[in-house]
């Protein structure tokens, strides 16, 4: 009887498990130390493997970052701003959109606080920024037409940002509902 297929399957399972441990270790380190302070040696130690093993699975930091962000965002899916289009009333759409955005920021604050501080302009973060820019446009659509669309859009981008949520909720101690109400008042003044 040929044991080769069994051994190959076991080896593939072992490699997949090692890869998973490396990605999990990277997520944990990015949430606690941040991407800039995380080295491949740190990842190896956290995953319980050698540094050579990390490089065998992930030849460089960008490849590891993509794997890490892919799994992280799979576990923490973005809100779907397209569903906000079903809300015709501009203020209600704004409230709903901000509520979902701020709930997402609260859920992901440990990771995103570090990632945005360390790697705000890193290519792996582009989908994150694109999401909030698209979300601002979806909210803006309910407010149009306006004379100064540029200022209103800028206000919406600022309102939806992680940094604004953190400043209002974590630093100033507002509840999420208070933060949404404040932004609503500011947007009404802008509009």
Cβ neighbours for 78, distance < 8 A, ≥ 6 positions apart: 104, 128, 131
Place of tokens 């200022």: 151
Domains of the chain with bracketed CATH: 4-74 (1.10.357.10), 76-190 (no CATH)
Contact assessment for residue 94 and residue 139, using Cβ atoms and an 8 Å cutoff: yes
Percentage above 70 pLDDT, the chain? 93
Give tens-digit pLDDT for 53-77: 999 999 998 899 889 988 999 999 9
What span, in angstroms and rounded, lies between the C-alpha atoms of 7 and 3?
6
Give the Å distances, CA to CA, from 156 to 46, 118, 130. 40, 24, 13
Angle of CA points 142, 169, 75, to nearest 5°: 75
Give tens-digit pLDDT for 145-163: 766 788 888 889 999 999 9
User: What pLDDT does residue 191 have?
Assistant: 64
The SS3 assignment for 80 reads: coil
Question: Predicted confidence band at 11 (pLDDT cuts at 50, 70, 90)?
Answer: confident
Question: Predicted confidence band at 8 (pLDDT cuts at 50, 70, 90)?
Answer: low
Question: Predicted confidence band at 15 (pLDDT cuts at 50, 70, 90)?
Answer: confident
Give tens-digit pLDDT for 95-115: 999 999 999 999 999 999 999
């Amino acid at each position: 009887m040929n044991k080769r297929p069994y051994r190959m399957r076991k080896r593939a399972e072992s490699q997949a498990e090692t890869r998973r441990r490396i990605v999990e270790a990277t997520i944990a380190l990015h949430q606690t130390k941040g991407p800039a302070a995380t080295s491949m040696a740190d990842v190896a130690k956290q995953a319980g493997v050698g540094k050579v093993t990390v490089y065998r699975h992930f030849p460089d930091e960008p490849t590891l970052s993509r794997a890490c962000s892919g799994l992280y965002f799979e576990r923490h899916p973005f809100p779907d701003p397209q569903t906000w289009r079903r809300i015709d009333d501009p203020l209600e759409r704004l409230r709903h959109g901000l509520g979902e955005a701020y709930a997402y920021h609260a859920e992901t604050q440990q990771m995103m606080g570090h990632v945005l501080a360390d790697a705000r302009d890193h290519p792996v973060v582009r989908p994150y920024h694109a999401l909030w820019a698209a979300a601002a446009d979806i909210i803006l659509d309910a407010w149009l037409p306006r004379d100064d669309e540029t200022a209103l859009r800028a206000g919406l981008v600022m309102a939806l940002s992680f940094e604004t949520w953190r400043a209002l909720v974590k630093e100033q101690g507002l509840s999420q509902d208070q933060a949404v109400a404040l932004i609503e008042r500011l947007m009404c003044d802008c509009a």
